[in-house]
Amino acid sequence: MNYYNLKDRHEQVDFKTATIKGQGKEKGLFFPEVIPQFEKEFINNLSQFSNEEIAWRCMADFVGNEIPVEVLKKITAETIQFDIPLKKINDSISVLELFHGPTLAFKDVGAGFMSRCLSYFLQDENKKVTVLAATSGDTGGAVAHGFYKAPGIDVVILYPKNRVSKVQEKQLTALGENITALEVDGSFDDCQHLVKQAFADEEINHHILLTSANSINAARWLPQQIYYLLALKQWQQSEKEAPVICVPSGNFGNICAGLLAHFRGLPADHFIAACNENDVIPQYLKTQTLNIKPTVATLSNAMDVGNPSNFVRILELFDHQFNTLKNTVSGYSIDDKTTLETIAKVYTEYGYMLDPHAAVAYASLEEYLTLHPDKKGFILGTAHPVKFPDAVEKATKVEIKIPDSLGDLMSREKKTVEINSDFKELKRFLLDKN
């Protein structure tokens, strides 16, 4: 499969190059040159296929012969080696729990697939690669775990000191081995700025092969389709009509993967982009004008994005036809007050604990279903509530139990290198290390 650069169609690359480079010229995103269709017998009879078979079939066309079938089957099986259950919250709303992976967030799926592909592509190159990423919390953990102990790959994660939750911090800092956490005295924007400077620095790039692992990489974006299929497999067991699918959205990679699966034949009645107060896309869907705004800090902080980078992929998928897009996707914006009220209400009424991101989705879907009472749907549960204890405990007045899957993580030692937000410090660290 070839991928073209959305900023310059003449730039076409294979899957390997798209995975290693992450993005094309002028920071353009890569997009598949064809949208491969699912076979009808497959998509209508998902229950007859194992999850591993579904995951492999979902990805095979996008990788082509660049990874041998047996290797790709192993990679896709490992990508979904944790439970992804669809649970009913009430009669009309279910939740797809995507947070049973190593870092308790849906990003484990994309990061796990991407890291395995990258390791495969680099194994014969005899080069050492440094994956450099800034995180506001969830991305860093998923990337660190995805690359943990991967041969030939070093990971350096920058995170803002005192601004990630306790669980998130441990996930970044307690691994050791090939993972280094840089604790930056600054904000997430400072971290991101430092990373950008490093990618642009000639001296660093002369000495070190740097790769980014951010969410616009096609190898992180595409495998997210897999769990939409796994959700549908479970949905079909009790429901006849296609679901309304509601996705808590920040950079819009997750919902864009669901829409891609829909274009390939995945049945869905409607999609909802659930946003917090960062409402650029919900506003666009109403007014057809894209009004990029500075980011507002909210309780669902993984969705605090003012300029969603994957939205260009959605426009491309819809061939820039606004009306078709509007008829397929609705946008909602939910404020922090409603987020907390929703967490409290759903816990009291149904005994189900939502994290703030899933709460934004729940409130959005509930609002949509008030207008369409004959429909049913599911939300994507993108993070475990334990990652956002402050908001969840405030809303429910209940202390959240740390899940067994975290093992002894919380008692392990935190190891970081502290730097300030001056680029010279990062540069010295990277050059000394290699």
Task: Show which residues are catalytic.
Answer: 107
Distances (CA, A) of 224 to 156, 165, 420: 24, 25, 35
Distances (CA, A) of 84 to 76, 224, 237, 355: 14, 12, 15, 16
Per-residue tokens: 20: 């290693």
**Minimal distance, residue 372 CB to ligand PLP, in Å:** 23
Does 171 bind ligand PLP (CB under 6 A)? Our answer is no
Does 250 bind ligand PLP (CB under 6 A)? Our answer is yes
Separation of alpha carbons 140 and 419, rounded Å: 17
Does 251 bind ligand PLP (CB under 6 A)? Our answer is yes
Interface pick for ligand PLP out of 15, 23, 67, 107 (rule CB under 6 A): 107
Interface pick for ligand PLP out of 51, 217, 342, 382 (rule CB under 6 A): 382
Q: Which residues of 201-211 are buried (b: 16+ CB within 10 A; e: fewer)?
A: beebeeebebb
Between β-strands 270-275 and 244-248, what pairing exists: parallel, antiparallel or unpaired? parallel
Rounded to the nearest 10 degrees, what angle do helices 138-147 and 107-122 cross at? 40
Query: Contacts with ligand PLP in 49-88 (CB under 6 A)?
Result: none
**Minimal distance, residue 123 CB to ligand PLP, in Å:** 29
What is the three-class DSSP state of 291?
coil
Does 141 bind ligand PLP (CB under 6 A)? Our answer is no
Question: Environment class of residue 323 by beta-carbon count within 10 Å: exposed (0-12), middle (13-18) or buried (19+)?
Answer: exposed
Q: Total residues at the site for ligand PLP (CB under 6 A)?
A: 16
**Minimal distance, residue 41 CB to ligand PLP, in Å:** 30
> 């939750």: which residue's tokens?
165
Interface pick for ligand PLP out of 57, 145, 220, 357 (rule CB under 6 A): 357
Q: Using the minimum distance from each CB to ligand PLP, give the nearer residue, 364 or 382.
A: 382
Does 220 bind ligand PLP (CB under 6 A)? Our answer is no
User: What is the per-residue DSSP string for 186-207?
Assistant: S-HHHHHHHHHHHHH-HHHHHH
Separation of alpha carbons 283 and 314, rounded Å: 15
In degrees and rounded to multiples of 5, residue 130 shows phi and psi of -110, 120
Binding range to ligand PLP, per CB under 6 A, among 44-52, 126-134, 252-260, 402-410 = 252-260
Binding range to ligand PLP, per CB under 6 A, among 1-9, 251-259, 313-321, 423-431 = 251-259
Separation of alpha carbons 286 and 346, rounded Å: 28
**Minimal distance, residue 302 CB to ligand PLP, in Å:** 3
**Minimal distance, residue 310 CB to ligand PLP, in Å:** 7
**Minimal distance, residue 329 CB to ligand PLP, in Å:** 13
Binding mask 196-215 for ligand PLP (x = CB under 6 A): -------------------x
Q: Using the minimum distance from each CB to ligand PLP, give the nearer residue, 155 or 358.
A: 358
Does 342 bind ligand PLP (CB under 6 A)? Our answer is no
Nearest to 430 by CA among 189, 142, 158, 121: 158
Chain residues in the site for ligand PLP (CB under 6 A): 105, 107, 138, 215, 248-254, 302-303, 357, 382-383
